[in-house]
Structure formats: structure tokens, C-alpha cells
Amino acid sequence: MWSTLIVSGLLLAPCIHSVQWCYQSQYSCDVNCKDPSQWDKAFPECGGQTQSPINIVTQKARHAPHLTPIIFEGYTQTLNVTVQNVGYSAVLALPPSLRIRGGDLPATYKAIQLHLHWGVEDGLGSEHTIDGEQYPMELHIVHIKEQYNTLKEAMNDSVGVAGLAFFYEVSTKENQKFNEVIEALGRIPYNGNSTTLQNFRLTDILPPLEKLSSYYRYSGSLTVPGCDEAIIWTIFQEFFYISQQQLVDVTKQLRFETGHPMIETYRPVQKLNGRMVYKSTACSFTSSGPVILCLCFLCVFRLIESIFT
């Protein structure tokens, strides 16, 4: 009897307490939590038909001319922002002076927060995948329609939330600007800890705004429970680059609410269930884009030539 208690006590020792849902990486620590395959048992919407993330098959994505470049407002502002460990992620609160519109979004949306999804060590950890390929890290910026005050309110509207996704890729060079984010994460190891990140500029941790005209678009959900199906997702093609050491530093500093290292914070890809993925028609979409454009002009010239001679 006592030995059983002691053994189970030892087994549970790294876990501070149990949680309602968890990522796969926590499951071994707290067998009572619901791993991603079981989220729908506690949160029915996680079993819905338009869930996120998804794998994007680039050859099947349909070109859509109305997907013009998104207009970013306030993204270059210098801000003092709060970063909090929320037990399953670290969330950086953003002010409503940061807005997006255009790009076929049905309204203007204001920013509320951003967060990252990562793997373990220098492994892969993005949520969305492109042609089956997962990337080291994925940044999500969450916006809600201007008319709403809270994310909860916006979730009540099937197009109430606009999610922007950026892939982080590893390069040989360190990205100095990203170090301040890493340092802030280091100050909030445990659930509930928060800190202020001073003189933060969103554009410091994004690819250059003028390079963001190429993107994918589809209708999906929050990628954590309750998985509300209220998100217009925009997934940008341009990467943001950090060093391998910076990636490792992000994955090593935080702990889940259960006390387990906060690693592999991504949900596996979900079924498309007949959804269409669209892509913007920006020329830069493939490296061969400009070449094709030139060939087109050549064709037109030949045609005109043949008519008039």
C-alpha cells in the first residue's frame, strides 16, 4: 500500500498538478490529461470539420486575384509589452493600435496577442506544414474584428478572428533583435509569471513587411482547445531567420503548467475535409515567377507582331 503510494508519488513528482488538456510531449508526465487526439472528448469543437493547423499542398492551392497584399497599421510602433507564461505557451499582449486590413479580409482587425509554437532543442515545431514539411518554429499573431472587445466575443463570429502565421527558419547568422524576446522568455519560466518587454517592435521579429505579398489563405480554428472555428488564417511564404542557438534557447527556458519542460508545443495537422486553400497571385510566389511573366510578355508581342505583319 505505502510502497504503491510512494512509487506513484515518485512517478508524478515532476508534475505539479494535472491539467484539462496537454500536448503530446506532456502526456507521459500527466496521463490524466487529454493529448491532442483526445481534445475533442473535453472540447467537442476540436472534433469539428474545419480545424487547424493543416498541411498545405502548394500544387492544390488555388490562385485568388483578390488576395492582395495585407495592409499593416502600427506594426512599426515601439511598444512596452507584457509577456506571460500561460501554462501551455508564452503570450505577448499587443495593443489595438496594431491593425490589419485588405487582403480580402472582411473587416479591419486589431491585434490582441502573439505567441510561438516550437519543437525540442533544434528540432521542428511549426503547426502548419507546407507540402508535408514542418519548420523549426511558427509565430502566430492573433487579431479580432475591431467591433469586438475580447477574443471570446470574436469567437462567436465565424470570421471574427484573423490569424497570421510566420515560419521561423534557422540560418547561420544570429538575429540580434530576437535576443530581447529570448531574454524575456527567460524571465518567465513558470505558469503565471509575467514580465515587460521594453521598446519592442513587432517588425523586429517578422520578415520585412514589403516581402509579405505571397501567402496562403484558408478558414480554420484555434489550434488549442476550445478549437473555435472562427479564424481566417493567413500563412506567409517568407521566412524569418534566427540562429540554431537562438532556437534552442527558446525551447529550453519555459515550463508547462504541469512543471514539465515546455517543448513540442504544436498540434498535429488536421483533415482538410474538402476545404479549399487559396494563394495570393504575387509574382514572387516561386522563383520562376518573373521568368513566366517575361515569357507571357513575349507571347503577347509575338501575337501582336503576327497580327500586324
**Could you tell me which stretch among 1-9, 60-68, 129-137, 189-197 binds ligand NAG (CB under 6 A)?**
189-197
**Is position 78 an interface residue for ligand NAG (rule: CB under 6 A)?**
yes
Residue 140 interacting partner from ligand NAG, Zn ion, none (CB closer than 5 to 8 Å by kind): Zn ion
Which of the choices ligand NAG, Zn ion, none does residue 198 contact, using the CB cut-off of 5 to 8 A by kind? ligand NAG
Q: What is the 3-state secondary structure (H, E, C) of the chain?
A: CHHHHHHHHHHHCCCCCCCCECCHHHHCCCCCCECHHHHHHHCHHHHCCCCCCCEECHHHCEECCCCCCEEEECCCCCEEEEEEECCCCEEEECCCCCEEEECCCCCCEEEEEEEEEECCCCCCCCCCEECCECCCEEEEEEEEECCCCCHHHHCCCCCCEEEEEEEEEEECCCCHHHHHHHHHHHCCCCCCCEEEEEEECHHHHCCCHHHCCCEEEEEECCCCCCCCCCEEEEEECCCEEEEHHHHHHHHHCCECCCCCECCCCCCCCCCCCCCCCEECCCHHHCCCHHHHHHHHHHHHHHHHHHHHC
Does residue 183 belong to the site contacting ligand NAG (CB under 6 A)? no
Which of the ranges 76-84, 102-110, 124-132, 283-291 carries the binding residues for ligand NAG, by CB under 6 A? 76-84
152 binds ligand NAG (CB under 6 A): yes
Q: Which window, 52-60, 86-94, 192-200, 245-253, contacts ligand NAG (CB under 6 A)?
A: 192-200
Query: Binding string to ligand NAG for residues 198 to 237, with x set by CB under 6 A, is what?
Result: x---------------------------------------
Burial degree of 37 (CB within 10 A; 0-12, 13-18, 19+): exposed
Using rule CB under 6 A, residue 288 touches ligand NAG = no
Residue 219 Cβ, how far from ligand NAG at the closest point, in Å? Answer: 19
Pick the binder of ligand NAG from 153, 283, 298, 303 (CB under 6 A). Answer: 153
Options 108, 179, 193, 243; binder of ligand NAG; rule CB under 6 A? 193
Stretch binding ligand NAG (CB under 6 A), from 20-28, 43-51, 148-156, 224-232: 148-156
* Residue at shortest CB range from Zn ion: 140
Q: Which stretch binds ligand NAG (CB under 6 A): 107-115, 125-133, 151-159, 260-268?
A: 151-159
- C-alpha closest to that of 215 among 281, 170, 157: 281
Which residue in the set 27, 190, 239, 278 belongs to the binding site for ligand NAG (CB under 6 A)?
Answer: 190
Binding residues for ligand NAG, rule: CB under 6 A, are 78-80, 152-153, 156, 190, 192-193, 198
